[in-house]
Structure 1
Amino acid sequence: MNRPFPALFLFLSAAPVLAQAQGLAQEAPIAALLEDLGEDVRMYNEHVTFLANPFLEGRLPGTRGMEIATEYVEAHFEQAGLERPVEGDSFRQSFRVGQRRTVAESHLAVGSFALAHGVDFGVTGMGGSGSAKAPLVFCGYGIEKGQEGYRGFEDGVDLTGKIAMIMRFEPMDEEGKSLWATRGPWTAKSGFSRKLKAAEERGAVGVLLISPPGAADDRVGDLMIAGRGSRSHVQIPVLMATSEAAEKLLKEAGVTTPLMDLRRAADARGVVRDLGCEIEMKASIADEELSAENVIGLLRGRGSLASEYVVLGAHLDHLGMGNFGSREGPGKLHPGADDNASGSAAVIMLAKRLAEEYRELRPDQEARSVLFMCFSAKESGLIGSSHYCRDPLFPIEQHKLMINFDMIGRIVDKRLSVSGASTGEGLEEWLAPMFEASPLTIVQPENMSGASDHTPFYRAKMPVLFGIIADFHDDYHTSRDVVSKINRVDAVHAINLFHR
């Protein structure tokens, strides 16, 4: 007679484990979910969460946050056992990006009453150096042509020899919200570039930007001081003051019209009004060279194929505080979870996987070398990837394929776009069974997108594959691109597809 004790013992011994699992699900549902989803999803979650953390300041090149992100990638390349292929035994390939602007001298005053730089006002990097003592003219929102026939400047308006006071944002309602926007808080008309150029083209010798009182925007107290990422748009000095500081300045200058009344007038129609006072402004801006760094790790191949290179790349940088490239305007931190912490995490994971597999190769087994690249300054115009193609670590003709990951973290309905299958002989046939086996639906666009880091490689006559979400989201290039919205499971499916 067989005794039932072994089965009973197994059941009883498993009971604490079952109870523990149930307790985990109840008390820590996210931990339980990650446990169920497996090691790959957990690792992907760790990488994308770290890289999109606000502590990294939006990963703008030249910032401390970007340095931390770069060190993070380096550490994982080191752990994977990748070689340092850059001269000087380094993972970093340095290149020039442009210039960083810093304030050397500042002044904003009416008579003997002066405002404090960094508290009441700031010299922005959107203008140049210069000084002026001139009449102050209120120019509303400075928008030349808006919706419903709105015109900020009538024909013949002349600002020669005057300082233009221009409000941020655009016409708003009594709640401080845009009268024009249907998607997002403000329209593109609220941007700085065209406003500043409109004033300069009409002869203004300086611009004083102010935050309109009552605006429903968290940035109303922010001062966009030079050196914090803003781009230069005009040659004349451009200063920015808080609404409270502007009220003080106008009161000291003898202007009796409240700033809110001026705002309401500009909400209704374009306004150009001489305020009957004279103010002084001065800005001295120093420019210093700014560099950035691609992070590159080498997994060396075997045999006769070792001199052929496959590039697995993604851009690491993002928009910082959104002072350029933002779809909602500057002043808010842009974490860049999907764009492109999602793709950088893929490169880190593939480096670990492929390094482990290469260590298991037979001594006589041949394999191509793999270059893992996290590019910088993509958002500034593909600068990092373009630099690599101009100054490659190995002859460019020995690069046989480039795979680029850019925004793979917000896959919807399991749809992933992969373009470039027609860029290499036999590539479509090689990819077909892998596309078919993937749990994702692979969308293959007819045209190759030129907006990411595969483009310089493609122009260098190299076959390329570009993986990106098939369905764009409204959080692209906004402060809403946060890690909580990442589809970790399907991002790992995308990584698995290219791993094959």
Structure 2
Amino acid sequence: MRQKPLAFLGYGVRIPGGYDDFAGVDVKDRVAVIARTLPDLDAFAHLPRGERSLLARLKRLEAAKAAAVLVLEDGPVRPLLREEGPVKLDIPVLSVSAEALGTACGDLRARLMAIKDTGRPASQDFIYAPWTTLTLKLKLRREEAQVPNVVAVIPGRDPKLRKEFIVLGAHMDHLGLGERHSMGGAEGRGQVHPGADDNASGTALVVELARELKKARPRRSILLMHFGGEEEGLLGSNHWVQHPTHPLESVKFMLNFDMVGRLDPAAPKLMMGGLGAPKAALEAARKLAPEGFAISVDVGAAVGGSDHMSFSQAKIPTFFFFTGIHGEYHRPTDTADRINFAGLAKLAAYGRTLALDLANADTLPAFDPETAKVAMKGDGGPMRIAFGTLPDYADNPKGFRINGVSKGSTAETIGLQAGDIITGFGGRPVKSIYDFMDALGAHKPGDKALIQWLRGDQTMQAEATLKGRS
């Protein structure tokens, strides 16, 4: 239990040469109080989008050595979650209301109104007021759980080719009660998120393919997989690739179905990605589509971050199928009555055609490293830097773990290897893939950046000259 003085820092914004909530306030070893929601101020007009997020402002306070942060809500208190993933900080952060703080920081609403009226900071350090201390008592508990993968096999009929496998996969998890990653806002959290499209649709489609392909008796064997933990970072597929039930070199192709239940009946259009698949293979797959079935082909990773990425990182070519984002995505309203079942059946028939085409072919397309390049994006848009890491999407308490590096990349040049955990990039701490993406987005081609990482118990670092994307 510790007592710490309070300091009000407006919105926790610092713009070099401009608006600065930190001016005149030493936040070190104080409990900082900031408002969550940024107002529409001219002073904030040039604040980069990546610096507007609550997480970016919390990181700034952590870097300034704040003891803790109280996030002042403009409504009910709510979980401090970033929709893209878990917040990873080394200081306590609590959501509070103005009523809960009482008069410890004076009239907070008046201070915030003054900022809105004048466009100038109204920060205040309360170090000399002994009654404005906060007593914190925190008890942290890390909970771990096991989630299953479900794997089934349809043996091939060809004496030689039956030793090779085509994987048909879909993730079977969703968001539960929406406590993490819900797009439904405060009202959505605590409600059941059915996940009819994401991804009961893909799960059901793989079951239907299992029924059909068993009757068809293909030459190659079929591995049918339902993955757990996709929403938490491709955990199930990544685990299977690292601990396969069949030799990984025997897996020749992977088809992944994620959110395939919302085909537009008026204009049926399927989005299809080919991570690690040659462009010719994608074009051949498009020609197998039934009449009146439009397919939007997207080479590489531009379509979807899903379980096919784990296989592509293992140098297995993949196809990914997706009928598009909609207003019910990651919300309690993603329900079965919104599924286009006729469209799902049509997609299953197309999936059967593709699976049999691959399973019965004399030879299969080889992995193409050019289409396997992941087009990562940061808060500011598409990345300008090509660094060459293959990400491990699972949460890691030490930093951003990588599954490998691309040949000839900057990451390979400085000596990074599979299993390394990146902890720093260009002076920024890296605690997650989101930190890593933000750090990449802050640089331009030609910049030099110090990269720090862990390899087992060893701490390593190297300076890298960053390259642009070709």
Moved more, 193-202 or 322-331: 322-331
Q: Where does structure 2 lack aligned partners over 5 or more consecutive residues? A: 354-470
Aligned length: 334
**Which residue of 2 is the match for residue 441 of structure 1?**
294
The structure showing larger relative contact order (alpha-carbon pairs under 8 Å, at least 6 residues apart) is: 1
**Which residue of 2 is the match for residue 199 of structure 1?**
61
**Which residue of 2 is the match for residue 423 of structure 1?**
277
Q: Does 1:164 align with 2:164?
A: no
One of 271, 293, 310 as aligned partner of 1:456 = 310
1:161–1:204 CA contact under 8 A, matched in 2 = yes
Note the alpha carbon deviations across 1:301-354, whole angstroms, 9 max, x for none: 335143222211112233456665566767734554433333222223323333
Tell me the percent identity: 33
Q: 1:341 to 1:145 in 2, by over 3 A?
A: farther
1:139–1:152 CA contact under 8 A, matched in 2 = no
Distance, in Å, in 2 between the alignment partners of 1:145 and 1:328 is 31
Q: 1:345 to 1:192 in 2, by over 3 A?
A: farther
1:322–1:331 CA contact under 8 A, matched in 2 = no
Q: Does 1:340 align with 2:199?
A: yes
Note the alpha carbon deviations across 1:453-493, whole angstroms, 9 max, x for none: 11222233323211113x54455455665555433332332
One of 128, 140, 143 as aligned partner of 2:10 = 140
TM-score scaled by structure 1? Answer: 0.57
One of 257, 274, 278 as aligned partner of 2:133 = 278
Q: Does 1:383 align with 2:235?
A: yes
Note the alpha carbon deviations across 1:410-468, whole angstroms, 9 max, x for none: 33421112233982698457635522x24311122243447221122223332321111
Note the alpha carbon deviations across 1:239-265, whole angstroms, 9 max, x for none: 233x2xx424424x4x552x4434434
Distance, in Å, in 1 between the alignment partners of 2:44 and 2:184 is 14
Distance, in Å, in 1 between the alignment partners of 2:176 and 2:251 is 32
**Which residue of 1 is the match for residue 113 of structure 2?**
264
Note the alpha carbon deviations across 1:209-255, whole angstroms, 9 max, x for none: 2322xx4xxxx244569xxx9834221222233x2xx424424x4x5
Q: 1:317 to 1:266 in 2, by over 3 A?
A: farther
2:173–2:231 CA contact under 8 A, matched in 1 = yes
Distance, in Å, in 2 between the alignment partners of 1:433 and 1:135 is 68
Distance, in Å, in 2 between the alignment partners of 1:282 and 1:152 is 31
Distance, in Å, in 1 between the alignment partners of 2:20 and 2:179 is 24
**Which residue of 2 is the match for residue 493 of structure 1?**
346
Distance, in Å, in 2 between the alignment partners of 1:429 and 1:197 is 45
CA positional deviation for 1:395? 0.8
1:181-220 residue pairs with structure 2 within 5 A? 191-212=53-74, 215=75, 220=76
- SS for the counterpart of 2:60 is helix
Distance, in Å, in 1 between the alignment partners of 2:78 and 2:275 is 47
- SS for the counterpart of 1:301 is coil
Corresponding letter in the other structure for 1:285: L
Q: 1:429 to 1:237 in 2, by over 3 A?
A: closer
1:58-457 residue pairs with structure 2 within 5 A? 131-144=1-14, 151=19, 153-155=21-23, 157-171=25-39, 191-212=53-74, 215=75, 220-222=76-78, 231-241=86-96, 243=97, 246-251=98-103, 253=104, 256-257=106-107, 259-268=108-117, 269=119, 270-274=121-125, 276=129, 277-304=132-159, 305-320=161-176, 325=181, 332-333=188-189, 335-355=194-214, 357=215, 367-412=219-264, 413-420=267-274, 423=277, 427=281, 431=285, 433-435=287-289, 437-449=290-302, 451-457=305-311
Q: 1:426 to 1:267 in 2, by over 3 A?
A: closer
1:152–1:272 CA contact under 8 A, matched in 2 = no
Note the alpha carbon deviations across 1:158-184, whole angstroms, 9 max, x for none: 2012111223333379xxxxx999xxx
Distance, in Å, in 2 between the alignment partners of 1:488 and 1:267 is 51
TM-score scaled by structure 2? Answer: 0.60
Corresponding letter in the other structure for 1:379: E
Distance, in Å, in 2 between the alignment partners of 1:134 and 1:154 is 18
Distance, in Å, in 2 between the alignment partners of 1:172 and 1:425 is 46
Distance, in Å, in 2 between the alignment partners of 1:180 and 1:266 is 11
Q: 1:419 to 1:236 in 2, by over 3 A?
A: closer
- SS for the counterpart of 2:61 is helix
Corresponding letter in the other structure for 2:123: V
**Which residue of 1 is the match for residue 383 of structure 2?**
none
Corresponding letter in the other structure for 1:434: L
CA positional deviation for 1:138? 2.2
Distance, in Å, in 2 between the alignment partners of 1:273 and 1:143 is 14
Note the alpha carbon deviations across 1:357-380, whole angstroms, 9 max, x for none: 25xx6xxxx643222212222233
Bigger proportion of residues as helix: 1
2:196–2:336 CA contact under 8 A, matched in 1 = yes
- SS for the counterpart of 1:465 is strand
